[in-house]
Amino acid sequence: MARTKIVRRRDGTVLVERFSPFRRVEHLMVIIVFVLLVLTGFPQKFYESTWATSTLNFFGGLDRARTVHRVAGMVFAFQAIFHIAVIMIGTLTKKMRLTLLPTPQDLRDVFATMSYYFGYRKEHPRYPKFDYRQKFEYLGMVLGGMVMVFTGLVLLYPGLTASIMPGQIIPAARIMHSSEALLALSVLIVWHVYGSHLSPEVFPMDTSIFTGYMTEEELAERHSLEYEHVFGKPPAHLAEHAEAPKTGVTLTPPEDTDSAPKA
């Protein structure tokens, strides 16, 4: 397993790498493709609205918008295939830590978080590198993306589809494509915008997906298990407030061998 990169800046702040350059580019690509797909797709779903025509005409009419939609969809599909291929190779060669894979612990975290929200629990549950809220969104993106790619291909090649599958797949795919898109956009607007922008924890924006790094303090606050994984010990504030600290508390910033600065 590759070690997590840690950067110590001149002013004393310690940055921990969260996303490799590959993941940052992947995210940027998804933004571009997603926006294009939404802008060219939703006018087709909401064909009755007046903005539908003007949005399509921005792309040069319905036919051009469809071409853009299909090209963007193809890019998205290749990206999805590439993404999954990277995971498969990474898993097989054991070089990748599957930090976004949902685990039973995530389900326990959901209940723990809920009982914390309702006040039945004193401390906030500790989250790994990605908490269940982020995993939910990622999983939705991957599974929803697969649905979109599959139904999109059905709609692009209806004749071919009918020759290998029952014809009823075509209207079902049309409804699925359009409903899944609505679900994806709704989750993005509500969940992603809250989680990465409007939530008081990150307001106005969690920049780590663009810069690739998160400060040590942020990591300790929001993903303390990952902090422990990186620095080899629980964050200071947790050790401080822990009801019964098991080991001695060190308030000095950790200087692990594991976190030797490289950049």
Interface region with another protein, contact rule CB under 8 A, candidates 86-94, 185-193, 209-217, 245-253: 185-193
Interface region with another protein, contact rule CB under 8 A, candidates 93-101, 154-162, 222-230, 247-255: 154-162
By C-beta, is 29 or 188 nearer to another protein?
188
By C-beta, is 14 or 155 nearer to another protein?
155
Interface region with another protein, contact rule CB under 8 A, candidates 2-10, 172-180, 210-218, 242-250: 172-180
Rounded CA separation 217/16 (Å): 10
Q: How far is the CB of 55 from another protein (least distance, A)?
A: 9
Interface region with another protein, contact rule CB under 8 A, candidates 174-182, 217-225, 236-244, 254-262: 174-182
Q: How far is the CB of 227 from another protein (least distance, A)?
A: 21
Rounded CA separation 17/230 (Å): 10
Q: How far is the CB of 31 from another protein (least distance, A)?
A: 21
- List the interface residues with another protein, window 104-123 (CB under 8 A): 114, 116-119
Rounded CA separation 62/17 (Å): 43
Complete edge-to-edge strand list for the sheet that includes strand 6-8: 6-8, 14-17, 213-215
The 36-75 contact track toward another protein, x by CB under 8 A, reads: -------xx--xx-x-xx--xx--xxxxxx----------
Under 8 Å between Cβ of 231 and 259: yes
By C-beta, is 22 or 194 nearer to another protein?
194
Rounded CA separation 7/251 (Å): 20
Rounded CA separation 112/249 (Å): 25
The encoded tokens of residue 140 equal: 């939705």
Handedness of CA 102, 106, 110, 116 (dihedral sign): negative
Q: How far is the CB of 86 from another protein (least distance, A)?
A: 28
Rounded CA separation 244/240 (Å): 9
| DSSP symbols for 185-223 | HHHIIIIIHIIIIISTTTTT--THHHHSEEEHHHHHHH-
Nearest to 137 by CA among 195, 85, 181: 195
Q: Does 248 bind another protein (CB under 8 A)?
A: no
Residues making contact with another protein (CB under 8 A): 43-44, 47-48, 50, 52-53, 56-57, 60-65, 114, 116-119, 133, 155, 158-159, 162-163, 166-172, 174-176, 179-180, 182-183, 186-187, 190-191, 194, 199-200
